[in-house]
Structure 1
Amino acid sequence: MRPTSVLLLGGALAAPATAGTVTVTVPRLSVAEYHRPYVAVWLEPAGGGTPRTLAVWYDIKKAGNEPGTKWLSELRAWWRKGGRSMAMPADGISGATQAPGPHNIALPADLKPGAYVLNVEAARETGGRELVTVPVNLPAGNARATGKAELGAVTLSTR
């Protein structure tokens, strides 16, 4: 799980303001050669517009002739939507690949109300690729979808 920054204000802990949470479940797969998937999570306005990347998980420690960033283009939908123009690592967005299980990503508090599409894409070495899309209305929309292989449950809950 990604660490969350906290501020100490007047002796009390205060978490950063968020509009809600996206939970992405990486399923446990029984395969001969398992590699953690690269994952990108982003929101797009439903009517079109600039996408906003919320998280990118990749092999951040892989260096040398083939650094982990080389394989980000395997997240094809995210790559075409704007991933190719991002510099990695991206502060507050990028991180290491995640083990199987649920992982929470905070929705930014500055999201404008409206209709969006939540996109979660996964690609795994010697595995498959999957894109899960979830329509949602913010600020008061909750949504859920489930992947078929590379992704498990994807939920968005607002506060």
Structure 2
Amino acid sequence: MRPTTFALLGGVIAAPASASTVTITIPKQDVAEYHRPYVAMWVEPAGGGAARTVALWYETKKTGKEAGTKYLADLRSWWRKGGRSMTVPADGVSGATRAPGQYSVKLPDLKPGQYVLNVEAARETGGRELVTLPLTVPAPNARAAGKSELGAITLSAR
């Protein structure tokens, strides 16, 4: 009977925690020339380590040698954390820029532990902003807010 108990215990230890949902608000800007922001969202261990890109919104309709990827380096923190080595478009991660509003993104399953959720936005003829949110898995609800390029960012457990 011990193998059954061991298998059950091993399953509990190795199973990833259930993912959470992040809601990102892109505020409406009162400016003469508005461009939708490029946005990158990634998770990394709190003590340092490899970053995992969760979402990347950039100009996908441009054509040419570099298309909209030319300006991904403007997402400076994300770019340094691993964006420069990422091949885009990345299935399930990248997509078109978003208009002002609220958008929900599901986080991937993560092992229990401490992480940092990062959301960065950069806008042509606009600003750049990075919002970080401590994340504990299994995740409790959490909230942070940007000041200009990003609005409220909420994290809710599924």
- Superposition TM-score tier, normalisation by shorter sequence: 0.7 to 0.9
- Which one has a bigger Cα radius of gyration? 2
Offset, 1:107 = 1.1
Is the 8 Å Cα contact of residues 58 and 72 (structure 1) preserved in structure 2?
yes
1:158 aligns with 157
Query: Aligned partners of 1:32, 1:55: CA distance in 2, in Å?
Result: 28
1:120 aligns with 119
Offset, 1:65 = 4.7
Query: Aligned partners of 1:34, 1:153: CA distance in 2, in Å?
Result: 20
Query: Aligned partners of 2:125, 2:88: CA distance in 1, in Å?
Result: 24
SS state at 1:108 partner? coil
Is the 8 Å Cα contact of residues 142 and 156 (structure 1) preserved in structure 2?
yes
Whether 1:101 aligns to 2:101 is yes
2:29 aligns with 29
Is the 8 Å Cα contact of residues 28 and 100 (structure 2) preserved in structure 1?
yes
1:40-85 deviation per Cα after TM superposition (whole angstroms, max 9, x unaligned): 0001100011111000000011112551000000000000000000
Query: Aligned partners of 1:92, 1:152: CA distance in 2, in Å?
Result: 24
Query: Aligned partners of 1:65, 1:78: CA distance in 2, in Å?
Result: 22
- Which structure shows the higher helix fraction? 2
Query: Aligned partners of 1:32, 1:143: CA distance in 2, in Å?
Result: 34
- Which structure shows the higher strand fraction? 1
Offset, 1:141 = 2.1
Is the 8 Å Cα contact of residues 43 and 118 (structure 1) preserved in structure 2?
yes
1:58 aligns with 58
1:18-40 deviation per Cα after TM superposition (whole angstroms, max 9, x unaligned): 61101110000110100000000
1:100-136 deviation per Cα after TM superposition (whole angstroms, max 9, x unaligned): 0110001113x11111110000000000000000111
2:140 aligns with 141
**What residue ranges of structure 2 are gaps of 5+ in the alignment?**
1-17
SS state at 2:116 partner? strand
Question: Normalising to structure 2: TM-score of the pair?
Answer: 0.87
Query: Aligned partners of 1:74, 1:85: CA distance in 2, in Å?
Result: 15
Structure 1 stretches of 4+ with a deviation exceeding 4 A read: none
Counting aligned pairs with the same residue, the percent is: 70
Is the 8 Å Cα contact of residues 136 and 142 (structure 1) preserved in structure 2?
no
